[in-house]
Structure 1
Amino acid sequence: MGIDISSQSNSIFFIDDAGNHLIKKPFSLPNDQEGANELIKRVIDCLSQYNLSYVKFGMEATSHYGWHLHLYLASSSELLPYKPTFYVLNPSIVKGFKKIYTFLPKTDNIDAVVIAECVRFSKLNPTPLPDFKYAALQRLTRMRYHLVHNLTREKNRALNLIYLKFSTYSQDCPFSDIFGKASCAIIENFTPDDIASMPLEDLIKFVSDNGNNRLSDVNKIAEILKTAANRSYRLHPLLAEANDLALSMTLENIRFMQEQLKKLDKEISKLLKAFSQTLTTIPGIGDVLAAGIIAEIGDIKRFKNEAALAKYSGLVWTQYQSGNFNAQETSLAKCGNQYLRYYLVEAANCVRVHTVRYKAFYNKKFSEVTKHQHKRALVLTARRLIPLIFAMLSKGQIYQERGDVYNT
């Protein structure tokens, strides 16, 4: 059975193992509980009519739209005697399979037929039902992924607005964090003209007050700000007010998202306690990174070996070979779980700072090329990290600096 899923309706088609069409044409049902009940009824009628003993359901992985249907069909007591199996297919698999049918139009009904044929022909492993313990953690770690990316976009927007207001500020910023409390207070309250004309003592007091008296050399910070203000371009008065408003709102968004991130990290750490894991024994990997990796991997027994885990994460490289030619430069495969890949790369970036073993590997890969050095070395370090993570999750082992692992 092929199901092409959308937010409001599902297109459905039935075939048997021999490729015979069991219905004349695909039909549509609402993507809700009533539609699912009608679907179960039609499936059972078809099985009875043709004296069939089992059913396979194929559906594309369409974000969250197939979540409820998959669980509802799997929990149906009426379908249980027919040993239902489910195949949630990567859209790229369906797209590639569809190419064998030349000149097919792109419609939901046709896609339902193609999905059914894909399940019939392809040697696929059934998709297990989600483990809700992992699924709950995954909701939060994926939320964090999107929040971090939104925060990065807001910061980039803020930097553009800061440049218009105070063109030399970013390059001369005397604060360790341009979006820290003291730095933002300067940006929001003063123009370059204000800072240039302000008595040095007043500027020192303002910086000290907004830095909660934690800044090491307030006098030097004030002097750097004065110098930067004198060198900066001046924004046209007609644009200054609008730019200030946009900057103020953007900085407020950044503060809000930073607070949300703190709340999310606390909740992720709380949920992680339900898991028996040793990933946090690796220097540089804290609760958040460990949770992101565990949530996306799920049960490690799903993977035959570390190579299968690497493929799932998308940390594999394409190969191009023809005759005697074998390409030396290959790109990262555009496949796999983007969330797992993100958390593995973030973990690699932290681990290479805190461990001798991975720092040496990173430096070696960094020195091998002259372009994209950091990005290339970091991704390769993430791939190097996968065997360790696979072993630790499979056997409950802890990390030792020299690279060995021991049973807990």
Structure 2
Amino acid sequence: MKYSGIDLHSNNSVVSVIDETDRVVAEKRLPNDLTKIVALLAPWQAELAGVVVESTFNWYWLVDGLQAAGFTVHLAHTTAIKKYDGLKHSGDETDARFLAHLLRLDILPTGTILPPEHRAVRDLARKRMQLVRSRTSHILAVENITARQYGNRITSNQVKRLDKESINQMHLPEDVALAVRANVAVIATLSSQIDVVEKRLHEKVASNSDHALLRTVPGIGQTLATVIVLEVGPIQRFANPGNFASYARCVDSQRMSNGKKKGEGNTKNGNPYLSWAFVEAANFALRYCDQARRFYERKKARTNPVVARKALAHKLARACFHILKEQKPFDVTRCFA
């Protein structure tokens, strides 16, 4: 039996193949060319137990291409892999061999490889978030300009309604008015593109039964339900609600010894988009759900507002797990009992 590991970079990859004794039988640095990588692995394909690819920013093309070529591919969960710190030498070749070594020992931490069509829609939802954040930065820029000029800042909704005529009526200095017009032009462009993206996302997820179920949760509307559905994927990949809440970054990362906190683990381990979604859901639930507000107030009385808000996000994350797992609408009495 043979095992392969690929240390993937932005423009090249180191491909290594080892046998059952960790002896290297093939190894080469290749450009990021699928044809050349497949050609190197082809002589060993019948014996390969699998090919391990690092979960870097650019893994799509390689994983999809190897799967299409008939290889069994594993996506390495890089943040969960830690090599021995005392190694005297390490490099791309040793990294590739180490991935193959973990696969041989059957202790490789892996990530989920979602289908390409699911990833495309999920990435479109992430693009929407990027556009919204960019628009927000321009809105804040206009608010800050008005605060500097008048001592009072206008609201974000007022900024969105600005046009050429209304800017002229503000009687700003010529150069300041030019800066505002530049921000407003970008805001208008981003808003139109956000509308286009949101329309497409709605078309893609509107028929998803999970999307409708998630919208029964207090604080979760169409946008947050879309993000959660696309980021979660198959709920069956999570063994229990605790695993799901951890993946959504809704639990603390702590190292405990003798009942005392001795440090923290990898606080960024998990999905940042789900973390954002559940915190946003908690903020909205506080406004519109009495049970959620009472839960928050009880927590805040014992801790502080930040921890209490995170606790509410954790509660909603666990509720969403049960909803998706059981395919039943949200039960407020069960969640906040």
The code of the aligned residue for 2:54 comes to E
Who is 1:217 aligned against? none
TM-score (norm 2): 0.86
Q: Match for 1:290 among 225, 247, 268?
A: 225
User: Using the alignment, how far apart are the partners of 2:63 and 2:186 within structure 1?
Assistant: 37
| Alpha-carbon distance change, 244 to 130 in structure 1, aligned in 2, over 3 angstroms | same
Does the alignment pair 1:392 with 2:323? yes
Q: SS in structure 2 opposite 1:398?
A: coil
Who is 2:313 aligned against? 382
Who is 2:32 aligned against? 31
Q: SS in structure 2 opposite 1:146?
A: helix
Q: SS in structure 2 opposite 1:191?
A: coil
Query: Which structure is larger by alpha-carbon Rg, 1 or 2?
Result: 1
Instruction: Say if 1:162 and 1:187, in contact at 8 Å, map to a contact too.
Output: no
- Cα drift, residue 115 of structure 1: 2.6
Q: SS in structure 2 opposite 1:376?
A: helix
User: Using the alignment, how far apart are the partners of 2:263 and 2:168 within structure 1?
Assistant: 47
Q: SS in structure 2 opposite 1:335?
A: coil
Does the alignment pair 1:316 with 2:262? no
Who is 2:181 aligned against? 248
Task: Output aligned runs, 1:125-144, within 5 Å.
Answer: 127-144=111-128
Range with bigger deviation, 385-394 or 141-150: 141-150
Task: Give 5+ residue unaligned stretches, structure 2.
Answer: none
Who is 2:8 aligned against? 5
Q: SS in structure 1 opposite 2:267?
A: coil
Does the alignment pair 1:271 with 2:271? no
| Alpha-carbon distance change, 189 to 28 in structure 1, aligned in 2, over 3 angstroms | farther
Q: What is the percent sequence identity of the aligned residues?
A: 23
Instruction: Say if 1:137 and 1:272, in contact at 8 Å, map to a contact too.
Output: no
User: Using the alignment, how far apart are the partners of 1:73 and 1:292 within structure 2?
Assistant: 28
Per-residue CA deviations over 1:217-272 (Å, capped at 9, x if unaligned) read xxxxxxxxxxxxxxxxxxxxxxx443332222112212221222222222211111
- Cα drift, residue 58 of structure 1: 1.5
The code of the aligned residue for 1:134 comes to H
Who is 1:347 aligned against? 281
User: Using the alignment, how far apart are the partners of 1:182 and 1:126 within structure 2?
Assistant: 49
- Cα drift, residue 188 of structure 1: 5.2
- Cα drift, residue 294 of structure 1: 0.8
| Alpha-carbon distance change, 58 to 37 in structure 1, aligned in 2, over 3 angstroms | closer
Instruction: Say if 2:143 and 2:156, in contact at 8 Å, map to a contact too.
Output: no
Who is 1:280 aligned against? 215
The code of the aligned residue for 2:11 comes to Q
Instruction: Say if 2:15 and 2:29, in contact at 8 Å, map to a contact too.
Output: yes
Who is 2:159 aligned against? 179
Q: Match for 1:18 among 17, 21, 26?
A: 21
Who is 2:49 aligned against? 55
Instruction: Say if 2:323 and 2:329, in contact at 8 Å, map to a contact too.
Output: yes
| Alpha-carbon distance change, 125 to 266 in structure 1, aligned in 2, over 3 angstroms | same
Per-residue CA deviations over 1:93-139 (Å, capped at 9, x if unaligned) read 34x22x3452334x433432333334344623655542345323312
User: Using the alignment, how far apart are the partners of 2:42 and 2:48 within structure 1?
Assistant: 15
User: Using the alignment, how far apart are the partners of 2:190 and 2:8 within structure 1?
Assistant: 33
Q: Match for 1:356 among 268, 275, 290?
A: 290
Instruction: Say if 1:151 and 1:254, in contact at 8 Å, map to a contact too.
Output: yes
Task: Give 5+ residue unaligned stretches, structure 1.
Answer: 48-52, 193-239
Write 1 or 2 for the structure with the bigger share of strand: 2
